Amino acid sequence: MEKIYIHDKVFVPFMPYGRVSEVIDGVARSLNQDFCPVFGSYHQAPAEDVPMLLCVLNGAIMFVGELMERLEFPVQLVSMKLSSYVGTQSTGNVREVMGLTAPVEGRTVIICEDIVDTGNTIVALKESLLAKGAKDVRICTMLLKPEVFRNKIQLDYVGAEIPNRFIVGFGLDYDEQGRNLKDIYVLE
């Protein structure tokens, strides 16, 4: 891993893909432990009982793709797109860019995020899903910035905690670039 340049910024290595993969393994183990006994195998689960894995676009695409490969219980994949960032800063305002791709009424929804920092986006999303009739909403994130997380909402599955630094790679971007990097880099 070498330093990289995106737009006007320099990023240095932070988390190699091998560590990212270990983080996803840990999240998958926890989800399998909680959901396999409840939802069983593909032969037993009625479609309306299958949990919905909600991929928060665009950042969580790579995380959700690899997470799904490791899950041992049936899931339905849905997505939506929210935005709260401009450049390297959160605006504090959560904006829905694309709505849900399927109804959630009466369903168990597992929100999958690439990263949670302040938690404002995840709080707004959970409230929205419950208002739309979701039976249960769980929160799953690959990464958490605990020093800026300022909400009391419970995060059910956290892959790894990181310092409050701006990162790119493995789905995370700087002005829509850097998402395709397998490794994660931090702003120099």
Active site residues: 117
- Which residues touch 137 (CB under 8 Å, ≥6 apart)? 108, 109, 110, 111, 126, 129, 130
Q: Which two tokens stand for residue 71?
A: 């899950």
Element (H, E) at 142: strand 136-144
**CA 67 → CA 70, 77, 82, 100, 102, distances in Å?**
5, 11, 20, 20, 20
Q: How far is CA 164 from the centre of its chain?
A: 17
What distance, in Å, lies between the first and last C-alpha atoms of the chain? 14
